[in-house]
Structure 1
Amino acid sequence: MPLVNFETLPNEARAWVFAAAAPVTGAAAVALLDMVDDHLRAWRAHGAPLVCAREWRDDRFLVVAVDEAATGASGCSIDALFHALRAIEGQVGSSLVASGQLYFRDASGVVQISDRPSFRALAAAGGVHGETHVFDTTITSVGTWRSGFEKPAHESWHARFLAVA
């Protein structure tokens, strides 16, 4: 039973967040989640199945988590996850493994993507501010995913981009 329901994972479970550069919806989202589930059902570390789960949110964010109290993920198993996701990217039309981008909700509630200089420029122009909701793709635990993945920028490391000289 390596693939479990995400809600059953403890807060201490290790998590990785993958953010789609473009929204993945409809048939592409179904295909993405089917391929991820196939990988997770077979995911192993040193031959032992990993107790793992995934969750999809806002047509952009995939979190994959492992209950390391049951079986710890190895470097090779983590590499295999990243490799599988890179292979899936071409089939769903959006990158998932790229890093360095910032994600936030615009005034109408739509998730937007920005590089750091553009986010700083948006802050300087008043397009984002301390109450703008941002997404912390650097989280590493299920508990943080549940309680602090999305929060106002002033409560996040994103706040450093709001200070404009």
Structure 2
Amino acid sequence: MPIVAFNALPDSARLWVFAAAAPVTGAAAGVLLQRVDAFLDQWRAHGVPLVCARDWRDARFLAVAVDEAATDASGCSIDALFEALRELEAQLGTSLLNNGMVFWRDTDGAVMAANRAAFRAAATAGAVTFDTPVFDTTVIAAGAWRASFEKPVGESWHARLLPATADHR
């Protein structure tokens, strides 16, 4: 079977992160994960099953990874993954493929999402500092997802989005 446990994938496994603009919980989360699992179970590149896995965090972040040491994902197989998720968006009531959103934890631990301008405004207002945890949706390997997907703004590319007056601890 091509689907494996996410922690069984090597750190080098190719990864795509899909971030929901709004939390996906309850029955909607069940639908999402069931459909993703069904897709991954039949996911192939040029007829060859892909060794793959998925992970789900914070009711927002879906990671799909392929062990390309076993089988390379093709352009068509990657397109099929994106299309399957696009079809789910309306049913879930949120976007999974919206690029440009920034995600961070507020002081209560809730995951927040906004465009870059709103993130910068939150920093200007003091709600985001260099210590605020952010999520790096640009990670492209399973090892990075495991080790550094969530980290303080000051240790992330997100720091360049903060105004010059932000807390630089």
Q: Tell me whether the two structures share a fold, i.e. TM-score over 0.5.
A: yes
Alignment partners' CA distance in 1, 2:95 and 2:138: 17
Structure 1: runs of 5 or more not aligned: none
Q: CA deviation at 1:23?
A: 0.3
Displaced runs of 4 or more, over 2 A: none
Q: In the alignment, residue 120 of structure 1 is paired with which amino acid? A: R
Determine helix, strand or coil for the equivalent of 1:86.
Answer: helix
Alignment partners' CA distance in 1, 2:92 and 2:113: 18
| 2:155 counterpart residue number | 155
Indicate if the aligned counterparts of 1:124 and 1:164 stay in contact, CA closer than 8 A. no
- Answering whether residue 42 of structure 2 is matched by residue 42 of structure 1, we say yes
Q: CA deviation at 1:164?
A: 2.7
| 1:30 counterpart residue number | 30
Q: CA deviation at 1:13?
A: 0.2
| 2:121 counterpart residue number | 121
Q: CA deviation at 1:88?
A: 1.1
Q: CA deviation at 1:97?
A: 0.8
Determine helix, strand or coil for the equivalent of 2:30.
Answer: helix
Q: In the alignment, residue 117 of structure 2 is paired with which amino acid? A: P
Q: In the alignment, residue 150 of structure 1 is paired with which amino acid? A: E
| 2:88 counterpart residue number | 88
User: TM-score w.r.t. structure 2 length?
Assistant: 0.96
Determine helix, strand or coil for the equivalent of 2:107.
Answer: coil
| 2:14 counterpart residue number | 14
| 1:4 counterpart residue number | 4
Q: In the alignment, residue 35 of structure 1 is paired with which amino acid? A: R
Q: CA deviation at 1:135?
A: 0.1
Alignment partners' CA distance in 1, 2:37 and 2:88: 12
Alignment partners' CA distance in 1, 2:21 and 2:62: 12
Q: Deviations over 1:88-109 (max 9, x none)?
A: 1112111111110000000100
Alignment partners' CA distance in 1, 2:93 and 2:113: 16
Q: CA deviation at 1:163?
A: 3.2
Give the CA RMSD over aligned residues: 0.8
User: TM-score w.r.t. structure 1 length?
Assistant: 0.98
Alignment partners' CA distance in 2, 1:82 and 1:159: 29
Identify which range, 88-97 or 15-24, moves more after superposition: 88-97
Residues 62-81 of structure 1 correspond to what in structure 2 (within 5 A)? 62-81=62-81
Alignment partners' CA distance in 2, 1:124 and 1:95: 27
Percent identity, aligned pairs only?
62
